[in-house]
Amino acid sequence: MSSKKAPPPNTKPLSSFFAKAKTSPPAAAGSPVKRAKTENPSAAAPVTSPAKRALASSSSPASAASPRVGVSSREAATKAAASLAASAEPEDDAGGGDDDDEEEDDFEVAKKAAPKGKGKAKKAAGAVRADAGKKRKVEGAPVATAEEVAAAGSSAHPAKSGAYAVPAGTVPDIGSVVKAKVKDKWYTGLLVKHERWGITKAYAVRALTIVFDRDIPKPKASFDMGSPDLLMTGETRTVRYWSSGTPCMRSTGVDQHAVRTDEAAAALAQAKTKKKSTSGGTPKYNGPQNVRLALGRAEAVAAKVLAGLAPGAAPTTEQATQCFEAIGSDWPTQDRPNVTPNGKPVTGFCLGAVYVLGGVGMATSHVSLAFPKLCKCLTAWVAASLPDAGFPFSSLQINYNYRAKKHVDGNNIGPSYITALGEHSGGGLWTADKYVHSTDPKDGSLVVKGGGGEAVLDCRNEWMLFNGNAEHETQPMGPLPGKEAFTRVSVIVFSNSNYNRLPPFVVEEMRDLGFTAASSGGEVRHFGEVRGPRAHLGCRGV
């Protein structure tokens, strides 16, 4: 519904003026109008425009008799513009005529009313023309009719058509079609979001976000649980989500909003990925040449390791270290302001699921696709060497020789493993809340949860479990006694918070690369109980 006011009742639409201008034949050479213009131009037509009336009054005998000695061009222009503005009334156009011709005449007359050759006078006349143009645009804008508004909403109570109140003690499902009352009228809308008292599903739902099928009277509204102004229809629709997992704040399943299926969205994202690929199907690394060559050396080492494995065997820690050593000191860099100790990019890269800006959303990292042998070698090593062989992971963050400052992971679901390879001293991981092991009294199963307090985890050449959603930082590091240099390559195994909201083709890519937490829906066993308040994050069965 347009918010602009309807034109005055006596103002004709511009379309009728244009139609009249196109269909009216030109005046004949011997017509009375032609003869009048030839014999007496000032009496050829009645003065209908405000500008013409102002000029006529200024050229009358009374005004002509008044001397204009000492009047500057600026004063003359100001007086002419004021006279035009004072006489400009919407009703003056009710008699008909072409608005465009009328405005052109106003502009020409305004220039004649001021001394010629003066730039300031012309600007004043141009301002009159601009004001008239703005007025015409507002008056000619389309507006919603009363019939359209009435059709969008009804004052009749929808219970008569089968709508019913939300049952007490229940929460409507996302995608429910509802009837919502706004300003004494009922409108059809879609439930797209549960508003909770906290940021996780552990908190109760306090309100429901409804997006209306039309922007009448507004695009969306929030209704408290149990509100009598919200009724259920029993129907459902599909709710679209952005790649970040937040619902699209537009109603779906209606004519004016195009619905893109999951298959179509996946095909579009896959097409964007292929644009960066070579003819062979493997994307070309687009980083610096020295980094591309270094990762190429690691790719060759990984390919040799995989080719030499016996059936069912997995790479060893020593073989994984050889891959990292092949990179040398030419590591890729990342912009990670939450971990960098000096504000500069840090050395490292991420394999697996990442969130890509620029409208791409969740995708497989570029390094993973450009160097698939390296990725497969490292995921196979991780899956075989973790203390919990069934620990699911969607991403591997590899860091080289830098000390991460105190931070909390932004896209980490929580439970993570870390190890540090290479010859170095120090470099432990300080955590604000260490995981502790306990036994569930209900079934005797192992439960790992927070509550252990501050601790420093010695992760050198050993896997250590920590909570990525608790504060943590890297401790000082350095060379071993008697050494001048050191190497510390830390590997963090974790799952992205959106690991189960991936496009289908991304799921296929990641599973082929060896990642075990990749899906388009559902929750894996380890993470089903950790999407709660951050202070109580834990992991069962790790």
Task: Tell me what pLDDT residue 88 has.
Answer: 45
Task: Tell me what pLDDT residue 204 has.
Answer: 84
Alpha helices (runs of H) in 258-405, residue ranges in sequence order:
262-274, 289-307, 317-327, 366-370, 372-385
DSSP H or E segment with residue 472: strand 472-474
Could you read off the pLDDT of 434-464 as tens digits, one per residue?
988 777 777 777 777 778 899 999 999 999 9
3-class secondary structure for 239-283? CCECCCCCECCCCCCCCCCCCCCHHHHHHHHHHHHHCCECCCCCE
> What CA–CA distance (Å, rounded) separates 333 from 400?
10
The token pair at 45 is 């037509």
The token pair at 267 is 């095909």
Task: Tell me what pLDDT residue 119 has.
Answer: 60
DSSP H or E segment with residue 14: helix 14-23
Could you read off the pLDDT of 276-329 as tens digits, one per residue?
443 446 788 988 999 999 999 999 999 999 999 999 999 999 999 999 999 999
Mean pLDDT of successive 10-residue stretches along the chain, which has 542 residues: 47 42 45 44 47 48 43 52 49 40 44 53 57 44 46 68 85 90 87 78 84 72 90 86 59 40 59 48 86 96 96 96 96 92 93 86 93 97 91 95 92 91 96 85 75 93 92 95 95 92 91 92 64 39 36
Task: Tell me what pLDDT residue 448 has.
Answer: 75
Task: Tell me what pLDDT residue 510 has.
Answer: 95
Q: Are 512 and 379 in contact (CB under 8 A)?
A: no
Report the predicted TM-score, pTM, of the whole model to 2 decimal places: 0.51
Query: What sign for the dihedral angle of Cα 321, 326, 329, 332?
Result: negative
Domain map of the chain by residue range? 14-139, 148-257, 267-540
Task: Tell me what pLDDT residue 187 has.
Answer: 87
The token pair at 298 is 């690691």
Domain 148-257 classified CATH 2.30.30? yes
Task: Tell me what pLDDT residue 160 has.
Answer: 67
Mind giving me the DSSP string for 97-142?
--HHHHHHHHHHHHHHHS-TT-HHHHHHHHHHHHHHHHHHHHHTS-
